Amino acid sequence: MKKFLLTTALMLAAAPAFAKEVIVKEITDANGKAYFSPDKLTVQPGDTVTFENAQDSPHEVMFINVPKQVDEMIMSPMQNKKGDKFSYTFTIPGTYQFHCHPHEAAGMKGTLIVGQASKPGETKATDHHKLTKKLEDGEAATNTKPTAGSSMPQGIGKVISVNAEKHTIKLKHDPIKALGWPVMTMLFTADSSVDLSGYQPGDEVSFTLKLVGKDDYTVINLKKSQ
C-alpha cells in the first residue's frame, strides 16, 4: 500500500500543470488614468494571457522587450470597444515587458514573467516604434500616407485561431514588405464578405488587408494556399 501511495505521489509530482488563461484588464478610470490590471504577473509556459478592454476607450497592447528566442512581434490591433480582446499563448520562458502605445507617455505598461525571469542579456527590445512610425508616416510602398480604404497590402501566413461568431481570425504572418511589418502574430477582424467557416488552426493562407482606420486593418480576402 505504501509503495502504491509513493508511486501515485511521484506520478502526480511529475505530471505537467494544466495550461490556463489569465485575464488582464485594460482600464481607463474616472480620472482618465489608464493602466493594466494586473500590470505584473507570472504565468507558466503554455498559458494564455488575454488582454480585455474594460470600457469604450481605445487601447493597444505592444510587447516592447522579449526573450531573445522570440522570433515575432507580439501586438494587438487597436481595441476600441468594451469587451475587445487580444489573446496570446506564451511558450518561451523569460521576462516580457509590454505597454499600451496610445498611453505609453502616461505610463500604461506592465511586466509578464513566463516560468522564470530572464537573466541580464537574455532579452531584446523590439522595434515597434519604428514600425508605428512607418505606418503613421506612410513610408511603406508608396511613400505616401495611406487613407482608409486606399491601402490593400497582401500577405501570407498561418491560421492560429478562428472565431466565426465574432468574425475574427488570428494569423501568424510572414513579413509584409508593403507595410514594413516583420513576422507577427496578430488578431484581425474579417470583412462580412469573408467566410471563415472553412478555416481552422494550422491552415496556410494568403490574404488581403484593407485599411479601415489610422492603423487598423481588416481582412477583405482570404484563401488557403495551394
* 100 has catalytic annotation: yes
* 103 has catalytic annotation: yes
Give 3-state DSSP helix, strand, coil % of the chain, rounded to 5. Answer: 10, 40, 45
Decide if 142 contacts 161 (C-beta within 8 A).
no
- Catalytic one among 62, 73, 75, 108? 108
- Catalytic one among 101, 103, 128, 173? 103
- Greatest CA separation for the chain: 76
What are the backbone angles phi and psi of residue 213, rounded to the nearest 5°?
A: -160, -160
Distances (CA, A) of 119 to 54, 182, 185: 33, 26, 25
Report cis status (omega within 30 of 0) of the bond before 38. Answer: yes
- Catalytic one among 62, 75, 100, 186? 100
Decide if 132 contacts 139 (C-beta within 8 A).
no
Residues 6+ apart with CB under 8 A from 69: 92, 94
Virtual torsion, Cα 161, 123, 116, 42, nearest 10 deg: -50
What are the backbone angles phi and psi of residue 162, rounded to the nearest 5°?
A: -135, 135
Catalytic residue list: 59, 100, 103, 108
